Structure 1
C-alpha cells in the first residue's frame, strides 16, 4: 500500500461530513499535499528533484529543508538547501538517520524519524526517508524555529519525500541507461578501421540535441589491398539502442563482406541479402565509396543514401552522381556502381541526412545549402569537417549526424612498403 493510501486510510473515520474523518476534514491537507507535490519531479534530473522537494517542504512547513542523498553506503552532506541553512541540525545526526533508515512498518511508519537534536538552541527537526519500494535514497531534513512539527505536518512531509523518492529512482535508472548507452556509443563509434597512409580521413558523430544515447548513424573505413580504402556511411531507421544494435550488425557484416574485395555494388547486394533474412533487422541506407589514390579513382554504390560531396581544389562543392538502389534489408537488390576521377587536391565528404535536412524542407533545397559552401583551398580534412559542421549549424541538427571527410595523401614514388601495397 502506498504512503498516500496508508495516510488517508488512517484518517477515514465516521462518514460524517463535519467529523474530522469526513470529507471536510480531509479537504485542506489533501489540497496542500496536492499543491506541494505538483512541483516535484518535473525532470529526470536527481538534483532538480531534490531542490523541488526542499522548496515544497519549506512552502508547506516553513523553516529550512535539505536533502542528504544516499548511494550504497555513502551519504552526502546537506544538498539542495532551501530556506535558512543555520536552522538545520547537526549533519552527523541526520547522516546517522539516513544510514539507518529503512522501509517503515505501516502501523508506526513515521515515529522513527521524529527527533529534537541537542544543541544550545534546541529546534524541532524532522527526517523523512526518501524511500521507494525497498530502495532508500537518503532523507529529507526539515527544521524550523518555534513549535514542533505536528504529526499531520510530519506525515505530509513524509509523503512528499516518498513522491520525490519515486522520481529519484526513475532519475537514477535513466542515468544508468545513459551510462550504458554512452559505453555502447564509445564502443560502436570507436575509431573505425585504419585507412591506408595514402588517404587522410576525419570523422565526426553528433547525436541530435547533444543527447548521449547512440543511434543508427555510423561511418567506417575498411582497408583493402593495393592501397585502396573503402569508405562507408550508413543510417539505420530509428533511434536509440535498438537502432544502435542493428547498426552494429550491419557494420560487422560489412567488414566481413568487404574483406573479400568485392566491388561496392556487390557488397551492398550481399548486405541486403543478409539483412532481408532477419525479420527484426531495421532497414538502413548506406553509401560505399572505394578510393584508389594510385589510380585517382573512386567507385561508388548507394543503397538509398544521399550522394557524397566533392570539394574541388579551388574549394568549390559539388555532388557526385551515384546510382541509387533500395535501402538495405528490403531484399530488392538492384545495386549498381559508378566510377569518378579523384585528384590529389580534392576531398570527399560522406554524410547522413541529419547534416543537411530541415523538417518540412525539400531535400534538394537541403543539399543546395551544402553545394553553396566554398572552402579555403587545400584545407585539411579536420578543418574541412569543422567548417561544414559550423556553417550548417549541425550541432543543433534535428537528427543524428555522421560525417566523414577524406583526401588522397600521395606519396613520392608510389607505394613505400609491402604492407601499404598489399593491405
Structure 2
C-alpha cells in the first residue's frame, strides 16, 4: 500500500486506518473475483494535489504496479478516464506488462463526487458481461460508502435510492461469499434483500428431477408454502421462469391474472395476502437450479434499475446455492459415513458400564475424525479408547474408521497400550505425510484394580474416585500418531473400585476462546461442581447405572459447550464407571512343573466350581484346563499358575514362563496328537493368549448358566447420543 498524502492522515486513529485498509482490500478482491481478472489496483483521489494515488494492489507484482503509483487526472489511463467520466471504462491491451488482455476501471463515487477508482486487469477476450458490470458497480458503491462512513461522513443518498440498492447488493454478495450451507444462503437473501428492496416475503426453492423443493422461506403463511413444492405445473410463473431462465416481475394481482389465469382462484381464495411478486431464476453453470420468489404486501412497480439489480442478484444467489448444495450433499454423506463408523451401542461389561456423546461441529465446512470405543478384553479387562484424526472431511472420517477397525484388531491380540499405539503409528505413517491422529488407549484391570494407558498427542484422562476426588495425572504425552517415534510411554495407576474414567477429544475442552489446559481445568471444575459420587452408579441395576452416566455426559457437554452452534470442531466424550472383581470371585493356584500338574489342576477346578455352585461347568472346565496344562508341559516351561475368574462368564487362565505362540494345528486322521487347541476352541465361547513381560497366559471363556445365581447382564446399552 502506498502512503496517503491527504492532509490529516497522520492524525487518524489506528482503528480508522485499519478499517479503511480492510475495506479497500476486501472491495478490491471482490472486484477482481467478479470480473475473473488477473489482478487489480485501487486508487483514491486527492483533490488537493489533483492526483490519483495507489492504495491497494491484488495479484499484481510490485514492480508492475509501481508504474501507476501516482496518476494525474488528465492522463489517458483507465483509472483516470473512469474518474473523469464517472462511468465504467474498458481498454484493450496490456497496460502494465502483466500479460493482461485488457483493463476495466470503475469509479468510486461518494456524496461530493468521485473519490477513486477500481482497475481490474482482464485475463481473456471480451467481458466483462452485463452481470459482471453490474456487480462491479455494486462493489464500487459499497466500497465508496464504507470509505465515507469510516471517515465520519454520512453515507451518500440519491433520490432514486439506486445507490443504496447497489450497496445492499454488494453486501449480499459479501454474505453469499461467506455462505457455506443452503440455509446460510437463504439467511443471506432474507437479511440483505427483503428490507432494501421493500419486499415482505421470500421463498427459495431448488429444482431437481423435475420437482421444486422449498429450502427456506420468510414472511409467508404456512398454508401457502406447499404450492411451491412438487412437480411443475403448466401455466404457473415458476414453470415459465425455470423454462426460460428469465425473471418475471408482476406488479399487481391484476397483472398476475393477466399473465397466469390459472392462479386467479388461488389468489382470490385468500391463501396469500401478497399483491406483487418477483420470480427470479437461480442459474448456475448455465442451468436453472432453483427459483427465488420475492413478494410484496402492496402493489409494487418495478423500476428498470431495480429489475436489473434483482436479475443480477438471482444469478449470484444461484451460484451460491449450487455451491452450498454440493457442500450440504458432501457434508451429509460425510456425516452418514462417520455415524456408520462410530459404535451404535456400547457393551455393558462386568467391569465397566459406559456412556458417550459425539457432537459434530456447529460451524465449519466438514465433519471431523473423532471416535471412541469400549472393547472387552480377556480376564474381564476393558479397553477404553478415544481418538481424533487431524483435519476435516470425508477422507478424515474414512481414516477414523480404519483406525477404529485397527484398534479392535490389535486389542483382540491383547496388546499392551504402548505396543498398540506403535502399530497404529505405523499405519498412520503409511497413509502419507499429511495424515496425523491423536489417541488415548487405556486398559482397566478389575482384578488388579489398575488403569494402564498410553497417550499419542491426546488430552489426558480424568479420574473421579468414589469419594468424589477428581484429578487428571500430569504426564508428558508422546507426539501424535504419524509424527511419533516409538516406544510410547506407559502410565499406570491404581484405581479404586467404583471410580469413573472420563476421556474426551480436544473439541470438548479447546476452542478459539480457550486453550486445552484451561479447558481441562474447566472439565475438572464441572465434575467437582456436579458433586459426582461414583457410588451412585454402583447398584446392581446396570440400566440405572447407564442412565446416570448418560445424564452426567449431558451435564458435562452443556457446561463445556453451552453454544454448540458456534463450535468449529467435533467433540467426543466417553465416561466409564469401573467395577472391580470381588475377591470371592477370584481363585489362583500354583502348579508343579511336571506331568502331575494336569491332574492337580482338574481337582482344583472341581473343588472351586463346587464352592461357586457351578458344578454344571465342571466337566467341560476340567477338560479345558487339562488340555491347557498339557500344552505347557509339552511345548513350554514353568512356572505354571492356574487362575479362575467368575463374573457373568467363567474365565480359566493358565500361565507359564514361555513366550512361544500357541497355534491350532491341522492334525491328520492318523496323528495321535495335535488336536488339543482344536478341542479348546470347540468347548469355549472364546479363547486366546496374552503376553506379559516374562510370561504368557492362555485363557478360555465359558458362559455361566442363568440358573447359577449370578445376575444376568445385558450385553449392549444404547448409551450413545450422536448430536
Q: Shorter-chain TM-score category? A: 0.7 to 0.9
Q: Equivalent residues in 2 for 1:314-325 (5 A)?
A: 314-320=467-473, 324-325=477-478
Task: Identify the residue that residue 169 of structure 2 maps to in structure 1.
Answer: 37
CA distance in 2, matches of 1:114, 1:304: 60
Task: Identify the residue that residue 13 of structure 1 maps to in structure 2.
Answer: none
Q: Deviations over 1:365-421 (max 9, x none)?
A: 554444454233224433443343344457656754322111224577432325597
2:532 corresponds to which of 362, 376, 386: 376
Task: Identify the residue that residue 5 of structure 1 maps to in structure 2.
Answer: 129
Given that 1:94 and 1:141 are in contact with CA atoms closer than 8 Å, whether structure 2 keeps it comes out as: no
Given that 1:302 and 1:322 are in contact with CA atoms closer than 8 Å, whether structure 2 keeps it comes out as: no
1:51 equivalenced with 2:330 (yes/no): no
Task: Identify the residue that residue 71 of structure 1 maps to in structure 2.
Answer: 207
1:327 equivalenced with 2:466 (yes/no): no
Task: Identify the residue that residue 556 of structure 2 maps to in structure 1.
Answer: 388
Secondary structure of the corresponding residue to residue 256 of structure 2 = coil
CA distance in 2, matches of 1:295, 1:8: 73
Cα distance change, pair 277–97 in 1 and its aligned pair in 2 (3 A): same
Secondary structure of the corresponding residue to residue 236 of structure 2 = helix
With 42-51 and 138-147 compared, the bigger mean Cα shift is at 138-147
Given that 1:49 and 1:164 are in contact with CA atoms closer than 8 Å, whether structure 2 keeps it comes out as: no
Given that 2:194 and 2:201 are in contact with CA atoms closer than 8 Å, whether structure 1 keeps it comes out as: yes
Given that 2:354 and 2:574 are in contact with CA atoms closer than 8 Å, whether structure 1 keeps it comes out as: yes
Q: Deviations over 1:312-356 (max 9, x none)?
A: 111111224667433211251121323322222211112223333
Gaps of 5+ in 1: 11-27, 85-89
1:408 equivalenced with 2:561 (yes/no): no
Q: Deviations over 1:130-165 (max 9, x none)?
A: 222313302535679778656665444322322222
Q: Equivalent residues in 2 for 1:100-111 (5 A)?
A: 100-102=240-242, 104=244, 110=246
Task: Identify the residue that residue 265 of structure 1 maps to in structure 2.
Answer: 418
CA distance in 2, matches of 1:46, 1:169: 10
State how many pairs are aligned: 393
Tell me by how many angstroms 1:266 deviates.
0.7
Tell me by how many angstroms 1:288 deviates.
1.1
Select the structure with the greater relative contact order (CA < 8 A; seq sep ≥ 6).
1
Given that 2:279 and 2:292 are in contact with CA atoms closer than 8 Å, whether structure 1 keeps it comes out as: yes
1:161 equivalenced with 2:331 (yes/no): no
Cα distance change, pair 29–312 in 1 and its aligned pair in 2 (3 A): closer
Cα distance change, pair 417–329 in 1 and its aligned pair in 2 (3 A): same
1:422 corresponds to which of 701, 704, 708: 701
With 330-339 and 350-359 compared, the bigger mean Cα shift is at 350-359
CA distance in 1, matches of 2:234, 2:218: 14
CA distance in 1, matches of 2:568, 2:309: 43
Given that 2:456 and 2:479 are in contact with CA atoms closer than 8 Å, whether structure 1 keeps it comes out as: yes
Secondary structure of the corresponding residue to residue 169 of structure 1 = helix
1:96 equivalenced with 2:236 (yes/no): yes
Secondary structure of the corresponding residue to residue 256 of structure 1 = helix
Given that 1:300 and 1:322 are in contact with CA atoms closer than 8 Å, whether structure 2 keeps it comes out as: no
Tell me by how many angstroms 1:296 deviates.
1.8
CA distance in 2, matches of 1:209, 1:78: 19
Q: Equivalent residues in 2 for 1:121-270 (5 A)?
A: 127-133=279-285, 134-140=287-293, 149=302, 153-191=306-344, 194=347, 196-209=349-362, 213-270=366-423
CA distance in 1, matches of 2:562, 2:297: 51
Given that 2:337 and 2:398 are in contact with CA atoms closer than 8 Å, whether structure 1 keeps it comes out as: no
Cα distance change, pair 200–37 in 1 and its aligned pair in 2 (3 A): same
With 32-41 and 117-126 compared, the bigger mean Cα shift is at 117-126
CA distance in 1, matches of 2:510, 2:303: 60
Given that 1:207 and 1:213 are in contact with CA atoms closer than 8 Å, whether structure 2 keeps it comes out as: no
Tell me by how many angstroms 1:256 deviates.
1.7
Larger radius of gyration: 2
Given that 2:351 and 2:382 are in contact with CA atoms closer than 8 Å, whether structure 1 keeps it comes out as: no
Tell me by how many angstroms 1:52 deviates.
4.5
Given that 2:282 and 2:290 are in contact with CA atoms closer than 8 Å, whether structure 1 keeps it comes out as: yes
CA distance in 2, matches of 1:315, 1:174: 46
Given that 1:54 and 1:82 are in contact with CA atoms closer than 8 Å, whether structure 2 keeps it comes out as: no
TM-score, normalising length: structure 1:
0.75
Task: Identify the residue that residue 87 of structure 1 maps to in structure 2.
Answer: none
Task: Identify the residue that residue 609 of structure 2 maps to in structure 1.
Answer: none
Cα distance change, pair 36–383 in 1 and its aligned pair in 2 (3 A): closer
CA distance in 1, matches of 2:360, 2:319: 29
Q: Deviations over 1:35-60 (max 9, x none)?
A: 3422435244243244357526734x
Secondary structure of the corresponding residue to residue 101 of structure 1 = helix
Tell me by how many angstroms 1:225 deviates.
1.9
Cα distance change, pair 191–294 in 1 and its aligned pair in 2 (3 A): farther
2:501 corresponds to which of 348, 366, 375: 348
